[in-house]
Homo-oligomer: A and B are copies of this chain.
Amino acid sequence: MMGEQLVLGLDLGGTNMVGAALTTEGELVAKSKMTTEASGGLEHVLGRMADCLEGVLEKSGRKREDVLAAGVGAPGPLNQETGVVYTPPNLPGWKDVPLADELNKRLNIAVFIENDANCAAYGENWLGAGRDFKDLICLTLGTGVGGGIILNNELVRGVDGTAGEIGHLIIEMNGRRCNCGSYGCLEQYGSATGIVTTAREIIEQGEKTVLTEMVSDLSKLTAKDVSVAMERGDELARRVITQTGEFLGVGIASLVNLLNPEVVVLCGGVIAAGEALFKPIRETVEKRAFPVPSKRARIVPSVLGDDAGVTGAAGVALSRAQRSSE
């Protein structure tokens, strides 16, 4: 019976949303992508979210009665228990939105919400790079650094649901200023933003690089420019990626000492740098973490890629629906 039911997932971003329908066994049945149109305001976005989920259900060719539950991965801060999203910076007009209830009202389906980085971690654990493991740490390396921690196949949420903020591990106590108000957070070193900062710091020392030819105004430099320069054989760009890997390695070494996980999964746009990034990460962890946990922790790229979040959102819905029916 359970195998015939569906779970829906929705990954809500500031620009796009992705919906998916999966069987409870984790088989993808349908998927659909829409723009978020965040500037349209709360009601507009809620309507689009409902449309996206309706659309994916229709695409699946199944009926509402077949749906066990839906899960939404949303930018935090949020409360998983009450289903309320507080004030996500990328969604103007959102304040203390009872998202789970609002969608439930529109869809007549049980809805659960979860932090988007936690969803990515859960997705990788359910069906991705961490599927054979029970203790996993996931870092999403995009504009910022997000994270999710899974122990014993369960998300570590903490008492208020805010746990997993790996981007705000302090790796350099008097380091770069972070948007969170602190200094030296991993996010300022291991994200696309961090790559740009590191590149600018090195360029300002007057070293030669194609980046100064590619980008006339360095205040407009992007992480993508750095990748392109590296592909073109630029030494400085490669060094920026190596340093970024070392920075990430420092943070991951701390996590490995702290939690002794089986696997550390890296997701997000930044991992496109491939071995140029993973090699210094692995070398740094090996050098800086204790031998036993360092040898244990595989450090691997995401298998689900952009689908980690939506897959995990569906997985969270499945897990919570099963738990609440126990």
Residues of A whose CB lies within 8 Å of any CB of B are 77, 134-135, 149, 151, 156-166, 168-174, 180-183, 247, 250-251, 253-254, 257-262, 287-290, 292-293, 296
Alpha-carbon separation in the docked complex, A219 to B146 (Å): 44
CA distance A162 to B160 in the complex (A): 26
Q: What residues on B are CB-neighbors of A257 within 8 Å?
A: 162, 165, 168-169
CB-defined contacts of A287 to chain B, threshold 8 Å: 181-182
Contact of A159 among B162, B262, B288 (CB under 8 A): B262
A183 to chain B, nearest CB (A): 8
A247 neighbours in B (Cβ, 8 Å): 173
Whether the Cβ atoms of A162 and B254 lie closer than 8 Å is no
Q: Are A296 and B159 in contact (CB under 8 A)?
A: yes
Copies of this chain, complex-wide, total 2
Q: Specify which chain B residues have a CB less than 8 angstroms from the CB of A168 in the assembled complex.
A: 254, 257, 289-290
Chain B residues with Cβ below 8 Å from A149 are 258-259
Tell me whether A160 and B288 are in contact (CB under 8 A): no
Q: Are A163 and B260 in contact (CB under 8 A)?
A: yes
Distance (Å) between the CB of A143 and the closest chain B CB? Answer: 18
Whether A170 touches B296, Cβ cut-off 8 Å, given contacts A159-B261, A163-B259, A290-B180, is: no
Q: Name which residue of chain B comes closest to A137, CB basis.
A: B258
Bound-state CA distance A171–B258 (Å) is: 13
Query: Assuming A181-B288, A260-B163, A290-B180, is B169 touching A254 (CB within 8 A)?
Result: yes
Q: Which of A151, A159, A174 has the most CB of B within 10 A?
A: A159
| A169 and B258 form a contact (CB under 8 A) | yes
| CB-nearest residue of chain B to A182 | B288
Residue of B nearest to A86 (CB): B292
11 contacts between A and B (CB under 8 A): A157-B260, A158-B293, A159-B261, A160-B292, A162-B290, A163-B258, A168-B257, A168-B289, A168-B290, A170-B171, A183-B288
A189 CB, nearest partner CB in chain B, Å:
9
Question: Given contacts A173-B250, A292-B77, is CB(A159)–CB(B182) below 8 Å?
Answer: no
Complex contact B262–A170 (CB within 8 A) = no
> Which one, B166, B251, B258, B260, contacts A161 given CB within 8 A?
B260
Q: CB distance B260 to A170 under 8 Å?
A: no
Which of A161, A254, A262, A293 has the most C-beta atoms of chain B within 10 angstroms of its own C-beta? A254
| Nearest-Cβ distance from residue A97 to partner chain B, whole angstroms | 17
- Asked whether A170 lies within 8 Å of B254 as measured between CB atoms, the reply is yes
Q: Are B259 and A156 in contact (CB under 8 A)?
A: yes
For residue A178, give the distance in angstroms from its CB to the closest CB of chain B: 9
Interchain CA distance A165-B290 in the complex, whole Å: 9
Interchain CA distance A73-B70 in the complex, whole Å = 46
Minimal Cβ-Cβ distance residue in B for A178: B288
Contact of A158 among B181, B182, B259 (CB under 8 A): B259
A115 to chain B, nearest CB (A): 11
Q: What CA separation (Å) do A159 and B294 show in the bound complex? A: 12
A158's nearest neighbour on chain B, judged by CB, is B260
Kindly list chain B residues whose C-beta atoms are within 8 Å of the C-beta of A157: 260
Interchain CB contact under 8 A, B169 and A172: no
